[in-house]
Structure 1
Amino acid sequence: MKQPMAVWAVAFAAVVSFMGIGLVDPILPAIANDLHATQVETELLFTTYLAITGLAMFFTSWVSTRIGAKKTLLIGLAVIVVFAALAGASGSVDQIIGFRAGWGLGNALFISTALATIVGAASGGAAAAIVLYEAALGLGIAIGPLLGGLLGSTSWRAPFFGTAVLMAIAFIVIVVMLRTEPERPAPTKLTAPFRALATPGLGVMAAAAVFYNMGFFVLLAWSPFVLEAHGMGSAITLGLIFCGWGVALAITSVWVAPFLTARMRRTTVLKATLPALAVVMLLAWAFAESVPALIALIIVGGLLLGILNTVLTECSMEATDLPRPVASSAYSGVRFIGGAVAPPLAALVAGWFGLATPFAFAAIVVLISAAIVVFGSKALRRADGVEIEELESAEAIALGDAD
């Protein structure tokens, strides 16, 4: 908890930024009904936001290492303010889809730079900084649906305008509290994040993240439609359910994930938790007709997602010796692109095979993620600290021989 003021400033802004992910969750049915949009069209509110966020993140390290972290953070926040307000003023679902894309651009500039800034400025090492970052993610995801539900109970436009106001506050916080510019790393090449994915450790983590995030966003983006079908589609009801989901995610991100990784290797945690998440998804598919069971499984899913978010991020940042901005851009970009594919694909799968079938699809992609971690374990030795331990042992032996 003893962090520099700059870290808390960025963490607060990150909470507000991450609220944008779950903000639209409770108002998806309302937008679909009021604007006469199909479920696939409504799910595109996630896709354009996440796709542009992911694609733009590949270039954020190139930007931030040239103009500085603070300017990049402020530009990202300003862009979000503008496009969130425009989304609230939209007259059609197509307009919201387009403005969510602009929102995603600002989100990319902010989120990727925020992770690198927190890791670089925080005390207590990279692992502690990543826990703080994932805590901000969890808290933002928890508050987002609740705010969306509360404001959305009056109008689906209100959450967008509310986000614009909060992001403007975050902009002011960064201006006031991030007084000293974080040390600027050497400028990176435009192609650096793409080449970073060719490194074995980061490449394995990126591949695992693609499929994991597909499962993550099926649970987040499709569950509201299943709940609506059972009469639980009001904005405030969905907001409360997904607030509970986000709180569960935040708790395990901050306390459970560090507890587990302090006692076992990171890849061991992933190998155990990813299959557990797949089981939860299969149960959601099997018991989708039971509202209490589905709500309970959504919350349990949040508990597992919190562990996975933190450990996957730690693995990606520790898997190579690449500069933090480059590793963050590469991993974050792939992470969000995986999430972008899932929502409309879930709607299509539901149309073909039934309302609950996307949960079974989510179980499959999460198991693929687990398989990637299992078969790529050799490339993740550095993420587990094995190579570092072996190097220290070799140095100790060498010193002993020299004596």
Structure 2
Amino acid sequence: MSAPQGKAASPFRQPKAVWAVAFACVISFMGIGLVDPILPALADSLHATPSQVSLLFSSYLIVTAVAMLLVGWVSSRIGAKLTLVIGLAVIVVFAALAGTSGSINEIVGFRAGWGLGNALFIATSLAVIVASASGGFGGAIILYETALGLGIAVGPLLGGELGGISWRGPFFGVAVLMAIALVATLAFVPSLPKPEHPTSALAPLKALRHRGLLTMGIMALLYNWGFFSMLGYAPYPMELSAHQLGLVFTGWGLLVAAFSVFFAPRLQARFGTAPVLYANLVGLSIVMAVIAAGVATPTVVIVAVIVSGAFIGVNNTLTTQAVMLVSPVERPVASSAYGFLRFIGGGLAPYVAGKLADATDLSVPFYVGAGTFLLAIPVLASGHSLLRAAETHTGDSGPVAPSLTPVGAQATTDVPLVIVAVGSDAKAAAVVDAAARLARDTSSPLEIVHVQQTAVVEEQAVDTETHDQARAAVTAHLDRLAAQGVTATGQILTSVGDHAAAGRALAQHAADVGARAVAIGRSPRGPAAQFGDGSITTALTHSATCTVVLVDPDTTPRNLTTATLAELRGGDA
């Protein structure tokens, strides 16, 4: 068993369909940041108060929230591509109409239509990218994360540049760019199969009867209340031009993207989901209190807003992971229910903040936002045991993650297992066959563990494959080995989060069953992909208490030495 020498696959070698949707994702993620730099200009040009302008956020987010309850019902009946196309078309129309508006009320109304298109788009974009990817699941996720980062970072910059010309510029800019994305999606994205079972329109609301999902959803509502209170009102005390505001929120966006993609998974691995969220919410509360206390000093507000990007990036990723960890329902249904609550919080906050600011002064909305961040902590604490059980797989009511599902007959021997971990890639069969030789040489039973991951990116979550597809893959391995006279057992390991999280879950399973060794292929993904969402192989190697054998299916297998066999057998040469 030797290390591979071939060149790792690039996550950016994808078909045109993936690039078309990724481009649309960039524009979609620009959304809020694109508008933020022009808020003061809108107020001046249209003779509106900050509280009236804040309704741009409220109408957009409240409609997005309500629409999130229905997008699963829609997409499961008309298909993901058509849902995506309709969402893009709606955004183009209403963004253009907002640019032609003559009053703040017209813009508020058109932003509501924009929110409908946004809900249709964000609920299906990640799933379409993963389904269309030929460069591997990991590559598709990296591409989506890259689009997210570009959109969040470039949105305020573009909004500031276009807003410096006219407040109408950002609206028309979105309309033109989304129109290009719409044409590319129509031209390059193939029709995708509909789900076998349509989703009920009431499914997201029914899902909220589950305590874990409801608890995490309320926590997200409170977090988004504070977040959008800041986003809707911070531009005013900065006293900057649209161009300067664009630069400030670009710095904020860079931190959001970096901490969401790179730092959140590492903090989670080191300290656990709940402890990181507790500390993060305290940090956000402090930042909001600083903005409130220093609202009369633009420099204080500017620095605090930029710094908040780090906390927001961590919170966005880990809150979604917490929802998926404790949720006992299908991922799309959980995403819709969670999205409804979080967007409701984001939509109501600017409206209430405006009323508070008009009745008192500009510092009060920020103090209230700081309070909602703190209030989210006891709400999260009320579900701490559920989240902890899900992370350590100690729950006894409903499915938790990570979890193992047996496939076929299970081993009854006390002889330590050789476990082989594979995914759905093309080289899985070769890795399994190499592990079968290792099991034979060590006189060990073989267990095939198929790793089925749920990827979480920002507020979106998607399964890499259906459970039926994972079961079929394991069954195919078992049947092939049986034809060769090799007896093996099978398991499906589900894991929520990045590749490293799957590696740690695999190491825990190996320790639980007292495995002799775990065989795994080296990652075919390039350094960029592994840095972005971790390496299952590296995490397994660092966490495992047994021997880890790295398999290269592209090289001629070598016989294990007598010393190595003795080590694997526990000292019996």
Question: TM-score, normalised on structure 2?
Answer: 0.64
| Counterpart among 154, 167, 181 of residue 156 in structure 1 | 167
Question: What is the rounded CA distance, in whole Å, between the counterparts of 1:311 and 1:135 in structure 2?
Answer: 18
- 129-138 or 335-344, which moves further after superposition? 129-138
Asked whether 1:250 is paired with 2:267, we answer no
Identify the match of residue 355 of structure 1 among 359, 362, 368.
Answer: 362
Q: Which residue of 1 aligns with 2:331?
A: 324
User: How big is each residue's C-alpha offset from its partner over 1:363-401, in whole Å with a ceiling of 9 and x where there is no partner?
Assistant: 100111122111111232465253457965999xx9678
Deviation at 1:352, TM superposition (A): 2.7
- Candidates 108, 114, 118, aligned match of 2:119: 108
Decide whether the 8 Å contact of 1:134 with 1:310 is kept in 2. Answer: no
2:209 counterpart SS class:
coil
Give 1:54 shift. Answer: 0.8
Residue 97 of structure 1 corresponds to 108
What letter corresponds to residue 71 of structure 1 in structure 2? L
Cα gap change, 1:51/1:370 in structure 2, threshold over 3 Å: closer, same or farther? same
For structure 1, which segment, 172-181 or 341-350, has the greater mean C-alpha deviation from structure 2 after superposition?
172-181
Provide the C-alpha distance between the structure 1 equivalents of 2:406 and 2:281, rounded to a whole number of angstroms: 34
CA distance in 1, matches of 2:298, 2:411: 64
Preserved contact between residue 135 and residue 254 of structure 1 (Cα < 8 Å): no
Render the CA deviation track for 1:41-77: whole Å, top value 9, x for unaligned.
1110111011101111110000001111111001000
- Which amino acid in structure 1 is aligned with residue 282 of structure 2? P
* Larger mean Cα displacement after TM superposition, 57-66 or 109-118: 109-118
The residue aligned with 2:293 is: 286
User: CA contact under 8 A between 2:130 and 2:137: conserved in structure 1?
Assistant: no
Change (3 A) 1:389 1:180: closer
Residue equivalent to 1:86: 97
Question: Quick one: which amino acid aligns to residue 2 of structure 1?
Answer: P
Give the Cα–Cα distance (whole angstroms) in 1 for the partners of residues 191 and 405 of structure 2. 39
Q: Does 1:221 align with 2:232?
A: yes
| Code of the aligned partner of 1:330 | A
Kindly state the Cα deviation for residue 223 of structure 1 after the two structures are TM-superposed. Answer: 0.3
Q: 1:72 maps to what in 2? A: 83
1:392–1:97 distance in 2 versus 1, CA, 3 Å? closer
In 2: Cα distance, 1:20 partner to 1:56 partner: 17
1:55 counterpart letter in structure 2: V
The amino acid that maps onto 2:305 is I
Equivalent pair of 2:237/2:298 in contact (CA under 8 Å): no
Aligned equivalents of 1:211 and 1:218: distance in 2? 11
Q: Report if aligned partners of 1:266, 1:383 keep a CA contact under 8 Å in 2.
A: no
Amino acid at match of 2:182: F
Question: For residues 213 and 142 of structure 2, what CA distance do their matches in structure 1 show?
Answer: 19
Residue aligning to 2:57:
46
Kept in 2, the 8 Å contact 1:130–1:313? The answer is no
Aligned CA RMSD, in angstroms, stands at: 2.6
Q: Partners in 1 of 2:146 and 2:402 — Cα distance?
A: 32
| Secondary structure in 2 matching 1:153 | helix
Which residue in 2 is equivalent to 1:204?
A: 215
Classify 1:168/1:185 alpha carbon distance in 2 versus 1 (closer, same or farther; 3 Å).
farther
Q: Which residue of 1 aligns with 2:283?
A: 276
Cα offset, 1:119, TM superposition: 6.3
- Residue 373 of structure 1 corresponds to which residue in structure 2? 380
Task: Decide whether the 8 Å contact of 1:25 with 1:221 is kept in 2.
Answer: yes
Relative to its length, the structure with more helix (as a share) is 1
Does structure 1 retain, via aligned residues, the 8 Å contact 2:11–2:140? no
Judge conservation of contact 1:226–1:356 (CA < 8 Å) in 2: no
Q: Does the aligned pair in 1 maintain the 2:391–2:401 contact within 8 Å?
A: no
Q: 2:11: which partner in 1?
A: 2
Aligned partners of 1:390 and 1:71: how far apart in 2?
A: 33
Assess if the C-alpha contact under 8 Å between 1:211 and 1:338 holds in 2. Answer: yes
The letter of the residue matching 1:145 is P
How far apart are 1:357 and its partner, in Å? Answer: 2.1
State the alpha-carbon separation in 1 of the partners of residues 47 and 340 from structure 2: 32
Contact in 2 for aligned 1:320/1:382 (Cα 8 Å): no
State the Cα distance separating 1:130 from its structure 2 match.
7.2
Task: Identify the match of residue 67 of structure 2 among 56, 70, 95.
Answer: 56
Give how far 1:303 is off.
0.8
User: RCO greater where, 1 or 2, for CA within 8 Å and sep 6 or more?
Assistant: 1
- Secondary structure at the aligned position of 2:322 is classed as helix
Distance apart, 1:7 and its partner CA: 4.8
Aligned-pair CA distance for 1:138: 4.4
Instruction: Say yes or no: does 1:35 pair with 2:61.
Output: no
Bigger mean CA offset, 216-225 vs 342-351 = 342-351
Q: Is the 8 A contact 2:59 2:111 kept in 1?
A: yes
1:223-274 residue CA offsets vs partner (Å, 9 max, x unmatched): 011213xxx2x11111111111111101111111121122232222212211
> More deviation in 361-370 or 372-381?
372-381
1:141 to partner: Cα distance: 2.7
Q: Percent identity?
A: 50
Residue 116 and residue 315 in structure 1: after superposition, are their counterparts in 2 closer, same or farther (change >3 A)?
farther
Q: Deviations over 1:20-53 (max 9, x none)?
A: 2222211111111111112211110111011101
How far has the Cα of 1:209 moved from its partner? 0.8
Q: 1:134 to 1:390 in 2, by over 3 A?
A: closer
Q: State the one-letter code of the partner of 1:194.
A: L
For 1:356, the aligned partner's letter is S
CA distance in 2, matches of 1:351, 1:143: 32
Paired with 2:141 and 2:370, the residues of 1 have a C-alpha distance of 26
Gaps spanning 5+ residues in structure 2: where?
Answer: 1-9, 395-399, 416-573
Aligned-partner residue type, residue 97 of structure 1: V
Task: Judge conservation of contact 2:215–2:382 (CA < 8 Å) in 1.
Answer: no
Counterpart contact for 2:220–2:341, Cα < 8 Å: yes
Residue ranges of structure 1 left out of the alignment (5+ in a row):
none
Stretch moving more, 301-310 or 170-179: 170-179
- Work out whether residues 116 and 328 of structure 1, in 8 Å CA contact, stay in contact via their aligned partners in 2: no
Contact 2:391 2:402 in 1 (8 A): no
Cα distance change of structure 1 residues 180 and 218 upon mapping to structure 2, 3 Å threshold: same
* Residue 16 (structure 1) aligned with residue 27 (structure 2): yes
- Distance in 2 (alpha carbons) for counterparts of 1:116 and 1:384: 24
Change in 2 beyond 3 A, CA 1:133/1:347:
farther
